[in-house]
């Protein structure tokens, strides 16, 4: 089994790359979806978050309101650090468990999409690190179209993450994604043939 850690900044196209790799035959694990599960009532993640942030992050149903939580952590860096200290080890352990199960199933290629892969220090889990990168103005435009974010809000989200140049230092592969889906699809097809397809043929 070959394992790929797929990361990149906000709105660079990580999810689209994941989907394209899945179409070629990879099994994809989404770290954000794992985090969502760990936010659910009854989990250690939920208990630890409420212990730190309090009931103000809950909605009327008693579940964590991610928008309320985001409004806190994206405006106070120390709270983002606290959120990461709580959640990153839990997500790491869950990813490691899933990957172990998949190895036993002899899955040929497993891709883990994780925006915080580098920041969290999860590189040891993977054979290859792939980073999706886009120009600043392209990301701002996507965030406006996709999320309705103003330029100021977009820059706040972008600047809350590590700079692309620092993320790219860890990359075995950097995928520049400033064009359309067809261009990206062609790049992924070539990378699959060059870096991953031989694993499946063994």
Residue 202 lies in a domain: no
Per-residue model confidence (pLDDT) at position 200: 52
Per-residue model confidence (pLDDT) at position 74: 83
Range of the domain at 74: 2-196
Residue 50 lies in a domain: yes
What is the per-residue burial (b if ≥16 Cβ within 10 Å, else e) of 109-123?
A: bbbbbbbbbbbbebe
Question: Model pTM?
Answer: 0.89
Residue 192 lies in a domain: yes
- Regions of the chain with pLDDT less than 70: 198-202
As for how many domains the chain has, the answer is 1
Per-residue model confidence (pLDDT) at position 201: 45
Per-residue model confidence (pLDDT) at position 199: 55
Strand pairing class (2-8; 109-113) = parallel
């Amino acid at each position: 089994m070959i394992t790929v850690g797929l990361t990149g900044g906000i709105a660079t196209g990580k999810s689209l790359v994941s989907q394209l790799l899945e179409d070629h035959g990879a099994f994809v694990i989404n770290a954000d979806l794992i985090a969502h599960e760990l936010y659910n009532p009854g989990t250690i993640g939920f208990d630890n978050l409420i212990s730190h942030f309090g009931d103000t992050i809950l909605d009327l149903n008693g579940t964590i309101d991610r928008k309320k939580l985001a409004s806190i952590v994206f405006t106070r860096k120390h709270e983002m650090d606290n959120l990461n200290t709580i959640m990153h080890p839990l997500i790491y352990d869950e990813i490691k468990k899933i990957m172990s199960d998949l190895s036993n199933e002899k899955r040929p290629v497993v891709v883990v999409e994780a925006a915080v892969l580098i920041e969290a220090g999860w590189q040891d889990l993977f054979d290859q690190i792939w980073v999706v990168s886009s120009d600043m103005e392209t990301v701002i435009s996507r965030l406006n179209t996709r999320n309705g974010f103003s330029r100021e809000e977009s820059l706040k989200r972008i600047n809350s993450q590590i700079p692309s140049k620092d993320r790219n230092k860890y990359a075995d592969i950097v995928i520049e994604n400033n064009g359309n889906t067809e261009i990206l699809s062609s790049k992924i097809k070539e990378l699959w043939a060059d870096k991953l397809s031989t694993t499946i043929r063994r």
